[in-house]
């Protein structure tokens, strides 16, 4: 079988078009059409010859035809004329590389029947042709419809029946001229189309060259027989949106039509290096490198030729470490010679890892007549993967070793996405991705769900990222049944596309240092076809780098070396860890990052850090796949499923589940992820005596390049900072003894110790001074009680009532409560009104539903709490204290099923307003759902938009996502506290706050909010309703349209009544317009975010606010003239006696 696969590359003779690469394997007669007699230069006289067909089925409808005349897959490289240029590895430095990116002419139709017959001719009618950027997706450039579906096929979402395709099948035709020189014609000329969707026909000068289907792997074509000398050679690419191959392209991403990667011409000598296989591993001591090299040379010349190959291995200083040269061998026409070199040992090699991405450069030289006719190079990393066993708690565990260590893979799934160009990702965007990955402590990428572009492999190898190279196969819409009509994985008729994509993805990725795992595909069922592709890869790997092969749908079957589940909970991980497994556990997708999510992330990693068989995971996913648009006001927003095409099938914003926004602005969750994944951690040993432990979680790196420091803080003030001055070896720890016995209790005073680890010098993509790790611990020094506030002489407070409005006032302050609305309408001190437009303090139990809320049914299930947050029913009671320097006003709200919400206001004659809140849920008369939040809200004038707070920050944080935050004094504007989630939802929350101040810019005059204990808050220039999809009545819902009204033209079935509080709307950031006020939410608690998945997972019970319990919290509103008053005001206790 292996021999046959290697011979596939030789099956097509020059000048012939073969119906099928695998025609002999599938017992079909090989049909060819001879074109070698055509004279170059007379192309305009030739008929538009088409290959004969075995049947009337065109390639794009034929399951078995995966390519025609496409070159056998290989490592991607180009030729150079000299060693110096070749050693750079820069394609642009090769004189034989001709990038064709740019503006091409373009013709588009929605139906194949409308395509003009002459569209691929040399001189077609150019009427109705347009300009288009290549690479680029046609849909993003105004041609066709960008569709997003998750599981369902976008062309037949309801009832997929392969290989049937819709009548509406858009075709894009791209055309440009290229110059072919005389010198180029003396070499082998290849055209590469880096990736396109979905069925590609290539024509040159009006003649069909070949065909390819694999949408995420390069298609290379030898084009010598189709070109001539001159600047008028016409390349035409005809690209069908849908083909039989579309059934293997069911990835969870935008379904875009067009060209995703670079298009270029490259030339090589007629006798040239076709491919090479580099095995660069380590010996059993992990000290010495083992290098085994095979090189394949093709003869495309007109006569047998003699050739030999040599190579040199260079270190990072361009010093030759080892070299070798073969003997000469005669290669017949259209045949290949394989040059196998002796295994070499490299003493004291510098191994490659994500921590230390040491790369060597191998320079290949091809000789003819003892003269070098071709140079090329490749970056080589020495690394070794293997399975081993270890004992933990008396139990044996199977673990995966990388360079002898049980490495943990801190990974994320990454799609190709650029908000401006669709699936074409530019170099600047890639660099931004890799920079963020390193800055936020990621060390691994899963290419989901296809091999990425060449530069991504190269950058991962250069900067140090472990890669799961996944084959471009997903058939999720067919389900997983093994029965006939079910999964294509168990249908032998579909073996050809499974094998084709496996060969393409494996062969071009085999040599990259970063490739640590190989994945058979994604969500495509399991069965016959994957058993065979697994065997193919394993045979290649056992004779080579011996990397593990994984596949999620194999679960515990034989054809996966790892157990790679999807979306486990922390409890599941803990279960697999405690019970032990027969292979390592590395979830290929977990912690679904849709919108405001990733709750309990640290809990999963608590299990991973504990058990040896749990070795990391890959978050879903990296980037929100929003496409950038502008509205009529010029405001930028990002689109998602359902925003294009009337009634197009859609899974809405389910493609908006990244850790970063489309523009790569990190989500606040990244702070939590960074902290959880940090490679240096600290623990408390004995806080009272100042003993702490520092742990080096790196596997290959000591801490000599990092500075460990610590600061002792008294509230927000740093008392002292010291550098630990220690170096900790990999996987080791050290005790830190820190002086804390001189710290004394004071009023309203807490002490913290903050640890920080920063880079001492520039490291790959990490600048000097960047903090790679931090931890904070509160020291056990209790604060002294505050001094009771007695106030100063002031006019006595009076109480009056008119029109059902209660007014408490004196010359200094005024408090007005509207008994009809249940809302505080005014709070005025020293003639300054702190309430904007009478929207004062009032109960609030609702948040703008996050995506996880919609996924678990919260907007419908907890709807009663939204109703309880408006149209209040209340009773009041006023108490005037004897001293007349304060008045208490109690409001009791009747809420669901006999529960009550009590807000007790005490107004001091000097203007301070003490607020005590009780939720009385025990004495209920019936069940009620948990509360989304428990608190209140009010609005202040916009000029108080400057916010200071002493609590957890600086990023937003929540009950189940705050481990990465630290208690400190932070300052931001209300605008800056907002985070623009692509689909607007709850954001900007902060927990464990001691106080919040709303201030005027400059003077600092404003309002201090001092918590009795700890409170949570939001302060944004928007309302809760602005982030609630159900309140956006003018926006359409996210209808899925899976009845396929888009293709059939039938009327859609949209049940508005059933959609209320269940279906999200097409809500975008441009709909969130800043208001002319600041809405403040003060909460006892807000329920957690959850995030193990986004389609049912609820917050853990301990992060829920149960409605059958009692709760209380409180705070004091204290007017201030400037921020310097804050510390003094915090010394007092304003509680009612």
Contact of 34 with 55, CB cutoff 8 Å: no
Residues 6+ apart with CB under 8 A from 376: 77, 78, 79, 80, 86, 273, 363, 364
CA–centroid distance for 847 within its chain: 25
Paired sense of beta strands 130-134 and 199-204, if any: unpaired
- Domain segments of the chain as ranges: 2-68+100-268, 271-384, 678-784, 788-1032+1067-1133
E runs forming strands in 319-404 = 320-325, 329-331, 336-340, 344-346, 360-368, 371-380, 385-392, 395-402
Polymer length in residues for the chain:
1137
pLDDT the model gives residue 648: 92
pLDDT the model gives residue 536: 97
Contact of 227 with 339, CB cutoff 8 Å: no
Q: Any idea what DSSP says for residue 1109?
A: S
Give the domain 788-1032+1067-1133 fold.
Beta-galactosidase; Chain A, domain 5 (2.70.98)
Same CATH topology for 271-384 and 678-784? yes
E runs forming strands in 861-965 = 874-880, 886-894, 900-908, 913-920, 933-941, 946-953
Q: Any idea what DSSP says for residue 497?
A: H
Distance, CA of 366 to CA of 311 (rounded, Å)? 9
Preceding amide of 954 cis, omega within 30: yes
Q: Which tokens in the block code for residue 396?
A: 């044996």
Nearest to 100, CA basis, from 12, 223, 212: 223
Residues 6+ apart with CB under 8 A from 517: 466, 467, 468, 469, 547, 548, 549, 550, 562
Longest dimension (CA), the chain: 114
Give kind and range of the element (H or E) at residue 572: helix 570-579
Distance, CA of 378 to CA of 451 (rounded, Å)? 18
CA–centroid distance for 1110 within its chain: 40
Distance, CA of 271 to CA of 328 (rounded, Å)? 13
Using DSSP, state whether 604 is helix, strand or coil.
helix
pLDDT the model gives residue 27: 27
The CATH class that applies to domain 678-784 reads mainly beta
924 exposure class (CB count in 10 Å sphere: 0-12, 13-18, 19+): middle
CA angle 940, 943, 947 (to 5 degrees): 75
Nearest to 78, CA basis, from 66, 65, 63, 93: 93
pLDDT the model gives residue 302: 87
Distance, CA of 619 to CA of 637 (rounded, Å)? 25
* Cβ-count burial 221-231 (b if 16+ within 10 Å, e if not): bbbbbbbbeee
| Cα dist from 900 to 775, 872, 1086, 1113, 1136, whole Å | 40, 11, 18, 15, 21
Mean pLDDT by 10 residues, the chain (1137 residues): 34 28 26 26 28 68 96 97 97 98 98 96 94 98 97 90 94 98 98 97 98 97 98 98 97 98 98 97 97 96 92 97 92 90 97 98 96 98 97 93 98 98 97 99 98 98 99 96 92 97 98 99 97 97 93 97 98 96 97 98 98 98 98 97 94 98 98 99 97 98 98 97 96 97 95 98 96 98 90 84 94 96 97 97 98 97 96 90 83 95 96 97 89 98 98 98 98 98 99 98 94 98 98 96 76 90 97 98 98 97 97 98 94 79
Q: Which tokens in the block code for residue 1034?
A: 């003018």
Contact of 1100 with 600, CB cutoff 8 Å: yes
Q: At what angle do helices 601-610 and 570-579 cross, to 10 degrees?
A: 10
Helix, strand, coil percent values for the chain (each to nearest 5): 15, 35, 45
pLDDT the model gives residue 272: 97
Tell me the pTM.
Answer: 0.93
pLDDT the model gives residue 93: 97
SS3 annotation, 671-717 = HHHHHHCCCEEEEEEEHHHCEEEEEECCCCCCCCCEEEEEEEEECCE
To the nearest 10°, the Cα dihedral for 551, 556, 557, 563? 30
Give kind and range of the element (H or E) at residue 577: helix 570-579
pLDDT the model gives residue 843: 98
Distance, CA of 870 to CA of 421 (rounded, Å)? 44
Concatenated DSSP letters for 129-158?
-EEEEESEETGGGTSS--EEESSS-TTSSS
Using DSSP, state whether 182 is helix, strand or coil.
helix
* Cβ-count burial 8-28 (b if 16+ within 10 Å, e if not): bbebbeebbbbbbbbbebeee
Paired sense of beta strands 515-519 and 549-550, if any: parallel
How many other C-beta atoms are found inside a 10 Å radius of the C-beta of residue 818?
18
The CATH number of 271-384 is: 2.60.40.10
Q: Any idea what DSSP says for residue 795?
A: P
Q: Any idea what DSSP says for residue 1103?
A: G
Contact of 653 with 1038, CB cutoff 8 Å: yes
Nearest to 64, CA basis, from 163, 153, 161: 163
pLDDT the model gives residue 784: 94
Residues 6+ apart with CB under 8 A from 676: 601, 602, 605, 963, 964
Nearest to 619, CA basis, from 655, 583, 652, 594: 594
Nearest to 554, CA basis, from 573, 526, 575, 587: 526
| Cα dist from 702 to 86, 729, 953, whole Å | 34, 4, 30
CA–centroid distance for 405 within its chain: 27
Which homologous superfamily is 2-68+100-268 in? Answer: Galactose-binding domain-like (2.60.120.260)
Concatenated DSSP letters for 806-842?
EEEE-SSEEEEEETTTTEEEEEEETTEE-SSTT---E
Please count the CA atoms within 13 angstroms of the CA of 1007 that sit on its side-chain side: 29
Give the bridge partners for 721, in sequence order: 711
Contact of 356 with 701, CB cutoff 8 Å: yes
């Amino acid at each position: 079988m292996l021999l046959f696969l290697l011979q596939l590359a030789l099956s097509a003779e020059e000048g012939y078009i073969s119906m099928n690469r695998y025609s002999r394997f599938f017992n079909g007669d090989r049909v060819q059409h001879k074109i070698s007699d055509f004279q170059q230069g007379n192309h305009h006289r030739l008929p538009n010859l088409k290959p004969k067909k075995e049947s009337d089925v065109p390639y794009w409808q034929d399951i078995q035809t995966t390519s025609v005349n496409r070159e056998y897959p290989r490592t991607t490289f180009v030729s150079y004329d000299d060693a110096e240029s070749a050693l750079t590895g820069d394609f642009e430095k090769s004189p034989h590389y001709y990038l064709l990116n740019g503006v091409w002419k373009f013709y588009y139709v929605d139906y194949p029947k409308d395509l003009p017959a002459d569209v691929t001719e040399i001189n077609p009618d150019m009427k109705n042709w347009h300009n288009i950027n290549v690479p680029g997706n046609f849909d993003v450039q105004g041609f066709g419809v960008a569709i997003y579906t998750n599981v369902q096929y976008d062309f037949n979402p309801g009832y997929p029946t392969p290989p049937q395709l819709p009548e509406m099948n858009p075709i894009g035709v791209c055309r440009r001229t290229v110059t072919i020189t005389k010198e180029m014609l003396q070499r082998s000329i290849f055209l590469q189309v880096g990736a396109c969707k979905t069925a590609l026909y290539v024509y040159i000068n009006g003649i069909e060259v070949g065909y390819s289907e694999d949408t995420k792997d390069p298609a290379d074509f030898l084009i010598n027989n189709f070109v001539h000398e001159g600047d008028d050679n016409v390349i035409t690419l005809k690209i069908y949106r849908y083909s039989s191959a579309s059934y293997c392209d069911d990835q969870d991403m935008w379904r875009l039509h067009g060209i995703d990667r670079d298009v270029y011409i490259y030339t090589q000598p007629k006798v040239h290096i076709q491919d090479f296989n580099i095995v660069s591993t380590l010996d059993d001591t992990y000290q010495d490198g083992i290098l085994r090299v095979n090189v394949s040379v093709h003869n495309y010349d007109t006569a047998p030729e003699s050739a030999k190959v040599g190579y040199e291995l260079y270190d990072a200083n361009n010093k030759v470490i080892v070299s070798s040269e073969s003997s000469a061998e005669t290669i017949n026409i259209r045949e290949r010679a394989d040059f196998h070199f002796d295994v070499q040992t490299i003493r004291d090699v510098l191994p490659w890892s994500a921590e230390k991405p040491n790369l060597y450069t191998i320079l290949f030289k091809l000789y003819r007549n003892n003269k070098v006719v071709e140079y090329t190079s490749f970056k080589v990393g020495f690394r070794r993967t293997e399975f081993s066993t270890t004992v933990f708690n008396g139990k044996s565990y199977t673990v995966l070793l990388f360079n002898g260590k049980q490495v943990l893979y801190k990974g994320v799934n990454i799609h190709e996405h650029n908000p401006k160009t669709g699936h074409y990702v530019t170099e600047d965007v890639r660099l931004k991705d890799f920079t963020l990955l390193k800055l936020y402590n990621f060390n691994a990428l899963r290419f989901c769900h296809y091999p990425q572009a060449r530069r991504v492999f190269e950058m991962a190898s250069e900067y140090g990222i472990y890669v799961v190279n996944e084959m471009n196969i997903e058939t999720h819409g067919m389900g997983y049944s093994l029965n006939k009509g079910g999964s294509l994985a168990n249908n032998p008729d579909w073996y050809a596309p499974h094998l084709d994509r496996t060969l393409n993805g494996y062969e071009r990725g085999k040599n990259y240092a970063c490739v640590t795992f190989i994945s058979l595909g994604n969500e495509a069922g399991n069965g016959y076809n994957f058993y065979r592709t697994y065997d193919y890869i394993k045979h290649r790997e056992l004779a080579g780098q011996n990397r593990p092969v994984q596949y999620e749908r194999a679960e515990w079957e034989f054809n996966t070396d790892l157990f790679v589940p999807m979306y486990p909970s922390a409890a599941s991980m803990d279960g697999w860890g405690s019970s032990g497994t027969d292979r390592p556990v590395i979830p290929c997708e977990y912690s679904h990052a849709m919108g405001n999510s990733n709750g309990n992330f640290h809990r999963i990693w608590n299990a991973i850090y504990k058990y040896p068989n749990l070795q990391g995971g890959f978050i879903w996913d990296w980037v929100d796949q929003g496409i950038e648009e502008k509205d009529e006001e010029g405001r930028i927003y990002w689109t998602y499923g359902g925003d294009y095409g009337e009634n197009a099938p859609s899974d809405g914003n389910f493609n908006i589940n990244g850790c970063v926004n489309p523009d790569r602005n990190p989500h606040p969750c990244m702070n939590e992820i960074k902290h959880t994944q940090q490679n240096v951690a600290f623990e408390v040993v004995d806080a009272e005596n100042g003993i702490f432990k520092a742990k080096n979680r790196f596997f290959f790196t000591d801490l000599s390049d990092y500075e460990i420091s610590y600061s002792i803080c008294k509230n927000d003030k740093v008392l002292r900072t010291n550098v630990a001055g220690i170096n900790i070896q990999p996987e080791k720890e050290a005790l830190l003894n820190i002086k804390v016995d001189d710290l004394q209790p004071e009023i309203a005073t807490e002490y913290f110790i903050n640890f920080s680890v920063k880079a001492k010098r520039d490291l790959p993509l990490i600048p000097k001074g960047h903090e790679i790790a931090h931890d904070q611990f509160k020291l056990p020094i209790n604060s002294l009680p505050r001094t009771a506030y007695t106030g100063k002489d002031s006019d006595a407070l009076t109480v009056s009532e008119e029109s059902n409005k209660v007014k408490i006032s004196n010359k200094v302050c005024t408090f007005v409560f509207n008994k009809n609305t249940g809302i505080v309408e005014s709070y005025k001190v020293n003639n300054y009104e702190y309430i904007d437009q009478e929207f004062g303090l009032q109960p609030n139990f609702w948040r703008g539903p996050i995506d996880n809320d919609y996924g678990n049914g919260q907007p419908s299930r907890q709807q009663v709490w939204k109703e309880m947050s408006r149209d209040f029913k209340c009773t009041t009671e006023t108490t005037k204290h004897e001293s007349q320097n304060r008045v208490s006003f109690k409001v009791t709200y009747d809420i669901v099923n006999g529960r009550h919400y009590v807000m007790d206001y005490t107004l001091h004659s000097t203007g301070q307003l003490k607020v005590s809140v009780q939720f009385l849920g025990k004495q209920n008369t019936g069940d009620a759902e948990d509360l989304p939040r428990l608190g209140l809200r009010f609005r202040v004038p916009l000029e108080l938009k400057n916010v200071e707070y002493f609590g957890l920050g600086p990023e937003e944080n929540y009950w189940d996502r705050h481990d990465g935050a630290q208690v400190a004094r932070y300052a931001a504007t209300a605008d800056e506290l907002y985070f623009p989630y692509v689909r607007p939802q709850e954001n900007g929350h902060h927990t464990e706050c001691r106080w919040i101040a709303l201030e005027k810019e400059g003077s600092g005059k404003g309002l201090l909010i001092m918590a009795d204990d700890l409170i949570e808050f939001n302060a944004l220039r928007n309302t809760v309703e602005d982030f609630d999809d159900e309140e956006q009545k003018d926006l359409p819902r996210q209808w899925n349209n899976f009845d396929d009204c888009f293709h059939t033209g039938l009327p859609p079935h949209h049940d508005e009544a059933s959609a209320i509080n269940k279906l999200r709307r097409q809500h975008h950031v441009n709909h969130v317009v800043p208001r002319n006020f600041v809405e403040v939410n003060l909460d006892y608690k807000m329920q957690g975010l959850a995030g193990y998945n986004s389609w049912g997972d609820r917050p853990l019970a301990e992060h829920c606010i149960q409605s059958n319990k009692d709760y209380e919290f409180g705070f004091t509103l204290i007017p201030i003239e400037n921020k310097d008053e804050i510390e003094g005001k915090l010394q007092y206790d304003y509680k009612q006696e």
